[in-house]
């Protein structure tokens, strides 16, 4: 799975927004997030427009305006954010649309020897990403110096998702 620069920037920015607003309790101007993350503000404005339309962030107008989360960070999953920013994460078209019939995407779907592999991969990735909340990412990224801030394969969300897929 490879994500676009838009998704990478969006995830970095939303984590920074969450962290900055948690510490200050205020709406965070987009220019502060853009400066901190070294992301072009115009690009970030497009990304946050999408996140606002999807109900992830809300904009606050005025002198102390900016952005804040529209709902608690615990209720926003990495899977939801990636789906909004990237679109469908399915490795193959025949497994990405649960409402569609696989044969619409491939004439060999009913006798495909590898479709089950792609389906299991897609389900595992989706399950793992949906179990990781924005709040968990902020906690992991805000650990004291000297400690690892990388999510390990043994983290509860990752372990649960991987064991459930088998």
Angle at 13 between CA 7 and CA 16, to 5 degrees: 145
Q: Residues 68, 58: contact at Cβ < 8 Å?
A: yes
Tens of pLDDT, residue by residue over 75-121, are 999 999 999 999 888 777 777 765 555 566 677 767 778 878 888 98
pLDDT recorded at residue 144:
45
Q: Residues 91, 118: contact at Cβ < 8 Å?
A: yes
Q: In the block, which residue shows the tokens 């529209």?
A: 70
Tens of pLDDT, residue by residue over 6-26, are 999 999 999 999 988 876 678
Q: Quick one: average pLDDT of 114-140?
A: 90
Report how far residue 38's alpha carbon sits from residue 26's, in angstroms, rounded to the nearest whole number. 21
Is the model's pLDDT at 151 over the cut of 60? no
pLDDT recorded at residue 101:
56
Provide the sign of the torsion angle of the four alpha carbons 105, 127, 71, 34, taken in this order: negative
Residue ranges and CATH numbers for the domains of the chain are: 5-139 (1.10.10.10)
The strand pairing partners of 3, in sequence order, are: none
SS3 of residue 28 by DSSP: strand
Mean pLDDT computed over every residue of the chain? 82
Residues 6+ apart with CB under 8 A from 137: 15, 78, 151
Name the pLDDT band for 156 (thresholds 50, 70, 90). low
- Smallest Cα–Cα separation from 66: which of 30, 41, 42, 100? 30
The strand pairing partners of 158, in sequence order, are: none
């Amino acid at each position: 799975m490879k994500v676009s620069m838009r998704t990478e920037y969006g995830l970095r920015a939303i984590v920074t927004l969450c962290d900055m607003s948690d510490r200050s309790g205020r709406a965070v101007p987009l220019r502060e997030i853009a400066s901190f993350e070294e992301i072009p503000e115009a690009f970030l404005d497009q990304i946050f427009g999408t996140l606002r339309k999807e109900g992830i962030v809300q904009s606050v107008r005025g002198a102390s305006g900016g952005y804040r989360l529209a709902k608690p960070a615990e209720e926003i999953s990495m899977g939801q954010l990636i789906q909004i920013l990237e679109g469908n994460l399915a490795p193959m078209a025949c497994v990405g649309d649960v409402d569609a019939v696989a044969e619409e995407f491939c004439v060999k779907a009913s006798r495909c020897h590898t479709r089950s592999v792609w389906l299991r991969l897609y389900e595992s990735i989706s399950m793992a990403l949906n179990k990781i909340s924005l709040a968990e990412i902020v906690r992991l990224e805000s650990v004291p110096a000297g400690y690892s801030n990388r999510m390990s394969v043994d983290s509860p969300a990752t372990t649960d998702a991987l064991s459930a897929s088998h």
